[in-house]
Each structure stands twice: as structure tokens, then as C-alpha cells.
Amino acid sequence: MNPTQLTDALRQQFDLTNYGQQPPELYDPIRYIMGLGGKRLRPLMTLLAASLFTDDYTLALKPAVAVEVFHNFTLLHDDIMDQAPLRRGMPTVHEKWNANIAILSGDVMLVKAYEQLLDIDAQHLRQALQRFSQTAAEVCEGQQMDMNFESRDTVSEAEYIEMIRLKTSVLLGLAMELGGLVAGADAESTQHLYDGGLNIGIGFQLKDDLLDVYGDPAKFGKQVGGDIIANKKTFLLIEALERAEGTVRTELLDWLGRDTFDKAEKVAAITAIYDQLGIRTLTEARIADYFQKGFANLDQVNADPVRKATLLDFAHQLVERES
Amino acid sequence: MNPTQLTDALRQQFDLTNYGQQPPELYDPIRYIMGLGGKRLRPLMTLLAASLFTDDYTLALKPAVAVEVFHNFTLLHDDIMDQAPLRRGMPTVHEKWNANIAILSGDVMLVKAYEQLLDIDAQHLRQALQRFSQTAAEVCEGQQMDMNFESRDTVSEAEYIEMIRLKTSVLLGLAMELGGLVAGADAESTQHLYDGGLNIGIGFQLKDDLLDVYGDPAKFGKQVGGDIIANKKTFLLIEALERAEGTVRTELLDWLGRDTFDKAEKVAAITAIYDQLGIRTLTEARIADYFQKGFANLDQVNADPVRKATLLDFAHQLVERES
């Protein structure tokens, strides 16, 4: 099965999934946020990982849905915490309904994610649930770290990498691990799948930070410079704050401290500082490192080379994306 | 083991339970709300139910903790939704920290509740998780119904009973069911335990409604008449609205519509209307019905009569409580 076929199978599975009916205020928001779509990369990676070891990818469909429902649960609750008005260009659940409904429908989504795991065969059920639970707790830890960073003056590179590892990367690792686990991969291969997903996930997040500044506006899809305007503590800003000295430091802190400013001017000024400090090159090198590590992990997975090529090809397409 | 010994064992188990450490903003609120105590009736019922079938009640300790952690998760999130300042006389989590921390630490509590179930033996694990998940979703459904009722003019008795069944009673049913399940009870007995917990749970909630109006202020612990002052749609008010006619109805609706009033006067006036309509007698009869049904369910459990007597004695003490 190629990625396009698996994507179709996934769409059918999502269409079939019944989250619940009554009361509608509880379940309509779940259908709404799941219906906003998104790229659904995580569940696709679950199916691709399972396909390394079995012709019957269908046994990974519900675990794949579990990962995506969990991911959307975190988006729903994160949007309340961030007071975000939009998600994928549409009103967020707390805007369309209200915050209480968003809290409660998110809660039930987490339960529904667990329910999707309960058809896993007895041999793998406990481990799947343990790994899912550990990852779910880690994602919450990462979100809390991210919130803590907002009110801090400085964040170290190590702290930032740990935050994105927890908040976003462990779930990509789990997505691939679960695919291998339910398809009967050996323990070492399952671990390599997790590590591969984790490292590629960290690379992705750093690339997100990079594209915010250096992305092609025609391809990026979001406003270039959005993180700069919002003083968001991205990998680039953290590196710049660790490196800037003298007048460059003064200028950087001055821009970060301004309450009113011309947005384009601020984006241009801070981008110029990043250029001067070599932040782009540095970030690109770190992204390449993580992607390389991730591919080395996947290379060690003990599976048929032809099947592995499909997974690796798809992963290569992903890491070359510019949006 | 008698209830006092089991309560001690539970306290030790809660003390031993490690919810997590870093970041502290995520895990301190869990320790805080779990440390507020409460009566911990649900986990005790889990141990008492298990003790019907085994001398080794310890195999029900973690499932008992799961039920209590889940219950406290619902309190934590409900308190945000209700904007409640106090819980058991202490500041609520969103007051002591903030709403975002309360949302996120609640989320991780739900994950930790699931984790407590993952040591259940392979034979019962899937069923325990299915029943736990179904119950968790039902509790969310009940909470959403409760929120919906606030903005409605009328609620029928059947709707109200269905709401409290979901919001509070299914969890007492599950608490007892899980105890039986992990201790090896036969399927019929497990069902009787669930039904018994469910019916006694509905009786409890109706008694809560009754005590708010007719409780002995010296014993009740809360302000008598609090529900009347807040126009809360309790079983008593719903029955009164279904029965009141003519001038009594006019008077009742007048009190419900007043924005300013003397609290003691409103409590006295609405209590007098309840008396006039026979609401106390009616409510007492319904409570007795549910308790009777619940005891009949427990009576059918296939277990040693001496062990059953311990459970029934304790349940009888519970239903006679006045606070």
C-alpha cells in the first residue's frame, strides 16, 4: 500500500468513527474539530510503520485514529489556554461554542482516544496503553513547560529542545511505535521506530521555527514573521539571545521590549540580526542533524527493504516540505 | 477486613501513589486536590466489593485509586466550569493557580487514572478499560446535561434522573463493578454490583437535594437552603414546578424571578411551598425506592453471606447519613 492508498483508508476510517451522540453540545465539537482535517501525518505514519511488518494494515487503523484524536484533543485544550480565535482558518471550539463546552468535549475526546486502543490484541494491549499513557502525560508536561516559558526572561537551548521533544515529538514517535507494535515488530525495531519519529519530530518543529522567518511567503501558508511579531521564544530567538553581544544585543532587546512598532520593520530588523549572528545556518544544521539521526534510526528497523523504502521516501518528502 | 481497616489501607495507597514531578505546575495541583481528602467512599466501595470474593483486597487498590483520581479530575474541571471559589473549604485549583493550569493538570489526572488500571491481570484488563471509558464518557455527558439545564426554563423529572444517573451514579456503580471484576466475580454478580451502586448513587444524589432543604443545620455541614437561594434545579424544585398551580405557582415563579431578596425569607417561603405540595414526602419515598432497589441488587450478588453482611452494613450506614 502506498501513502495515497493509506490516506484514503484513513479518511474512510475517520468517517466511520462514531464519537458519540447525546448531548450534542458534547459531541458536535469533536466532529467539528476532527472535520477540520489537517494533514493527518501522525496516523499515516502509524499505518506506514505497520505496513513494514504486515499486509494487513487495517489492524493499525484504530490505533492510528487514537493518535489523531489525542492530537486534536490537545489542540482543542491548547486553543482555550492560548485564547486562539482560529484553528485551520476556522473558529476554534471555545469561540464557536464556549470555553466550558471546549473543556468538556476535550475531556471526552481523551476518553475516546483511549477507546480506540481497546481492540488491540491481548498480547500488545497493556504495552500499547502504557506507552500511550506515558506519551499523553509527556505532551501535557511539554505544554506546561511552554506556558512557563512565556513568563520567563530566558530559556536555554536545552530547555527548549526538551519542551518541543515533549510537546510535539514524542507523539510522532508514539505514532510510529504503535504501528510497529500492533503489527508484530520485534522490540528493537519498535524502539527504532519511536526514536526515528522522535528525532524527525524535533527536526520538524525546528523547521517550523525556521520557516516562520525564512519561509517563502508564497508556499508557507502562514504570515511570515508571526513568531517575531509575537516575541515567541523560538529556537532562533533563543540562539540569538545566547549569542548577541554589544550593540546587537542592545538592539535585539530594544525590539523585544517595544510595545508599539511597525510589524514589517520589526520582522526585517530581527531577521537582519539573525542573519548577522548566523542563526539561519546554525538552525539549518541542527535540523539536518535531527533528520539524519531520525533516518539512521529508521534504517535500523528490521524489515523488508522494499517496504522500508516506501516509508523512507515518504519521510524524505515530509522533511523537504516548505509549509 | 472491615471498612476501617480498608480505609487505612487506602490512605496508605494514596500516600504511595506518585502522580509525577516535573514541571511542578502540572503535578502540584494533583497532589493538592487529592490531599483535600473527602470521604473517599467510591474507592472504599471498590475494596468492599472486591472483599466479597477474595482475601487479597490489595489487587483492587489501584483500580480503587483510579476511580478516586477520576472523580477528583471531574471535580477539578467542574470547578473551572462553575467558577467555584472553594472545594472542601479550600481554594479551588483554578483559584490557587489559574484556569490554564487547572485545565492541563486535570487532563493529566485523567491519564493518571487510566495508568492506575494498567496492572489489572490480562484476563480482565480490556473489560475494565472498556467499562471505565464508557463510564468516563457518561460522566461528561451528565455534566453537559447539567450545564444545559441551567439555561432551560423547565426540566422534566425523567431528564433530571437521567442527568444525575450519568453525572454521579454511574461512577459509584463502576467503583463496585471494578472491585468485583478484578476479584474474579461471575458476570451476573458484577452486574448486580454495578446496578446496586447505580441505584444507591441515585438515592444519594436525591438525598443531597433533600438535605439542602430539610437537613439539620447542625449536622449538614453546608448552608441549608443553598440550592433554593441559587434557583438550582434540584429534584425538589422540578417536582414543585410540575405540581404547583394557581396562586402557589404564581408565588413560586415570583420567588424564582426575583433578582434581589432576603435569603432567609426566600428559603422559608420556598420551603413552605414544598411543604404545601408534599414535596418532602414525595422525595423521601423516591429515595427509599432507589435505596431499596440498590439493596435488592446487592442481595443478589453471589458471595459468602458473612462477607456480604459487611458490605450491606456499611451501605446501610451510608444511606442513613445526614451530611
Q: Which of B85, B64, B63, B87 is nearest to B74 (CA)?
A: B87
Mark A200-223 as b/e (b = at least 16 C-beta within 10 Å).
bbbbbbbbbbbbbbbbeeeeeeee
Q: List, in order, residues 6 or more apart from A52 with CB less than 8 Å away.
A: A179, A180, A183, A185, A189, A301, A303, A304, A307, A308, A311
The pLDDT score that the predictor gives to residue B244 is 96
The pLDDT score that the predictor gives to residue B224 is 82
What cell was used for B272?
413552605
Confidence grade of residue A220 (pLDDT, cut at 50, 70, 90): low
Tens of pLDDT, residues A138-172:
999 999 999 999 999 899 999 999 999 999 999 99
Q: What are the strands, taking DSSP E only, across chain A?
A: 86-87, 90-91
Q: Does A285 map to a domain?
A: yes
Q: Which chain A residues have a beta carbon less than 8 Å from that of B25?
A: 144, 147-148
Residues A305 and A203 grouped into a single domain: yes
The whole-angstrom separation of Cα B140 and Cα B75 is 11
Mean residue pLDDT across chain B: 95
Mean residue pLDDT across chain A: 95
Q: Is B208 exposed, middle or buried (0-12, 13-18, 19+ CB in 10 A)?
A: middle
* Nearest residue on chain B to A132, alpha-carbon basis: B111
Q: Which chain B residues have a beta carbon less than 8 Å from that of A133?
A: 111, 114-115, 118
Q: Does A171 map to a domain?
A: no
- Looking at CA atoms only, how far is residue A70 from chain B in angstroms? 11
Indicate whether A274 pLDDT > 70.
yes
Q: Is A88 exposed, middle or buried (0-12, 13-18, 19+ CB in 10 A)?
A: exposed
Residues A190 and A323 grouped into a single domain: yes
The pLDDT score that the predictor gives to residue A221 is 65
Residues A112 and A191 grouped into a single domain: no
Confidence grade of residue A37 (pLDDT, cut at 50, 70, 90): confident
Q: Which of B71, B118, B43, B285 is nearest to A137 (CA)?
A: B118
Mark A261-284 as b/e (b = at least 16 C-beta within 10 Å).
eeeeebbebbbebbeebebeebbe
Residue A122 is part of a domain; what is its CATH number?
1.10.600.10
Q: Which of B143, B16, B27, B2 is nearest to A144 (CA)?
A: B27
Residues A13 and A124 grouped into a single domain: yes
Of all residues in chain A, what percent carry a pLDDT higher than 70? 98
Domain limits for position A241: 186-323
What cell was used for A141?
508536561
The whole-angstrom separation of Cα A176 and Cα B290 is 49
Q: List, in order, residues 6 or more apart from B157 with CB less than 8 Å away.
A: B235, B238, B239, B242
Residues A298 and A205 grouped into a single domain: yes
Tens of pLDDT, residues B253-287:
999 999 999 999 999 999 999 999 999 999 999 99
What cell was used for A80?
482555550
The pLDDT score that the predictor gives to residue B302 is 96
Q: What are phi and psi of A91, to 5 degrees?
A: -60, 140
- Looking at CA atoms only, how far is residue A294 from chain B in angstroms? 26
Q: Which chain B residues have a beta carbon less than 8 Å from that of A103?
A: 77, 80-81, 103
Give the residue, A219 or A89, on which the prediction is more confident.
Answer: A89
What cell was used for B164?
444525575
Measured between CB atoms, which of A23, A26, A126 is closest to B125? A126
Tens of pLDDT, residues B104-141:
999 999 999 999 999 999 999 999 999 999 999 999 99
Measured between CB atoms, which of A115, A125, A136 is closest to B125? A125
Q: Which of A142, A147, A126, A80 is nearest to A107 (CA)?
A: A80
Decide: B138 and B166 in contact? Cβ < 8 Å.
yes
Residue B98: CB atoms within 10 Å = 14
DSSP summary character for residue B82: T
- Rounded average pLDDT over B4-16: 94
Q: Does A177 map to a domain?
A: no
- Rounded average pLDDT over B57-68: 97
ipTM: 0.95
Measured between CB atoms, which of A25, A110, A133 is closest to B144? A25
Size of interface A-B (CB pairs under 8 A): 113
Residues A126 and A208 grouped into a single domain: no
Q: Which of B56, B280, B98, B292 is nearest to A148 (CA)?
A: B98
* Nearest residue on chain A to B73, alpha-carbon basis: A107
Sign of CA dihedral A128, A134, A140, A142: negative
What cell was used for B291?
435505596
Q: Which of B16, B38, B36, B19 is nearest to B28 (CA)?
A: B19
- Rounded average pLDDT over B95-102: 97
- Rounded average pLDDT over B37-50: 93
What cell was used for A313?
521516501
The crossing angle, in degrees rounded to 10, of helices A170-182 and A122-150 is: 180
Q: Is residue A32 helix, strand or coil?
A: helix
Q: Which chain B residues have a beta carbon less than 8 Å from that of A129?
A: 114, 118, 129
In the numeric block, the cell 404547583 is attached to: B244
The whole-angstrom separation of Cα A230 and Cα A250 is 19
Amino acid B18 reads: N
Residues A84 and A190 grouped into a single domain: no
- Rounded average pLDDT over A293-314: 94
* Nearest residue on chain B to A83, alpha-carbon basis: B100
Find the angle CA(A112)-CA(A118)-CA(A124) to the nearest 5 degrees. Answer: 135
The pLDDT score that the predictor gives to residue B153 is 87
Say if the Cβ atoms of A115 and B133 lie within 8 Å.
yes
- Looking at CA atoms only, how far is residue A303 from chain B in angstroms? 29
Residues A323 and A194 grouped into a single domain: yes
What cell was used for A242?
545566547
Residues A130 and A12 grouped into a single domain: yes
Q: Does A163 map to a domain?
A: no
Q: Does A190 map to a domain?
A: yes
Amino acid A210 reads: L
Q: Does A179 map to a domain?
A: no
Say if the Cβ atoms of B118 and A140 lie within 8 Å.
no
Measured between CB atoms, which of A101, A118, A137 is closest to B111? A137
How many structural domains does chain A have? 2
Q: Is residue B90 helix, strand or coil?
A: strand
Q: What are the strands, taking DSSP E only, across B104-200?
A: none
Residues A131 and A210 grouped into a single domain: no
Q: Does A153 map to a domain?
A: no
Q: Does A47 map to a domain?
A: yes
> Which of A105, A116, A133, A145 is the best substitution to test chain B (most B C-beta atoms within 10 A)?
A133
Tens of pLDDT, residues A180-191:
999 999 999 999
Residues A8 and A85 grouped into a single domain: yes
Say if the Cβ atoms of B103 and A77 lie within 8 Å.
yes
Q: Which chain B residues have a beta carbon less than 8 Å from that of A141?
A: 20, 22-23, 26, 108
Find the angle CA(A217)-CA(A220)-CA(A226) to the nearest 5 degrees. Answer: 80
Say if the Cβ atoms of B145 and A23 lie within 8 Å.
yes
The pLDDT score that the predictor gives to residue B217 is 78
